[in-house]
Amino acid sequence: ETGVTQSPTHLIKTRGQQVTLRCSSQSGHNTVSWYQQALGQGPQFIFQYYREEENGRGNFPPRFSGLQFPNYSSELNVNALELDDSALYLCASSFLANTGELFFGEGSRLTVL
């Protein structure tokens, strides 16, 4: 086990709704990265948080936003959900930004109807 926990594990939303996904990073890790993994695809980088600040963003629209808290846990928020947002959302923590092994959580499986 990596020590990275995510909630909820599964959820179903309808188009236009909003969703918040949560992640607790591994003890001692100050960096959290979020990835979107569509079925049969590799993980796509959404953004990274380092010491409560956004530290890089992938090619995702502004309706994808996030937060990191003083205890280094993190949230991913997605507004105005679209059908294509259906995917596995993975949180990964690491000790340092920009380098080194990523420790992934089990993921949150989002289905948008």
Partner 1 sequence: GQQVMQIPQYQHVQEGEDFTTYCNSSTTLSNIQWYKQRPGGHPVFLIQLVKSGEVKKQKRLTFQFGEAKKNSSLHITATQTTDVGTYFCAGETSGSRLTFGEGTQLTVNP
Are 102 and 90 in contact by the 8 Å Cβ rule? The answer is no
Binding residues for partner 1 restricted to 14-73, rule: CB under 8 A:
33, 35, 41-45, 48, 56, 58-59
The answer to whether residue 9 forms part of the interface with partner 1 (CB under 8 A) is: no
Cβ nearer to partner 1, comparing 13 with 109:
109
In terms of CB distance, is 2 or 20 closer to partner 1? 2
In 1-113, DSSP assigns E strands to: 5-7, 10-13, 19-24, 31-37, 44-50, 53-57, 64-68, 74-78, 87-94, 103-104, 108-112
Pair of tokens at residue 82: 């679209």
User: Which residue's CB is nearer to partner 1, number 56 or number 61?
Assistant: 56
Q: Which residues bind partner 1 (CB under 8 A)?
A: 2, 33, 35, 41-45, 48, 56, 58-59, 90, 98-107
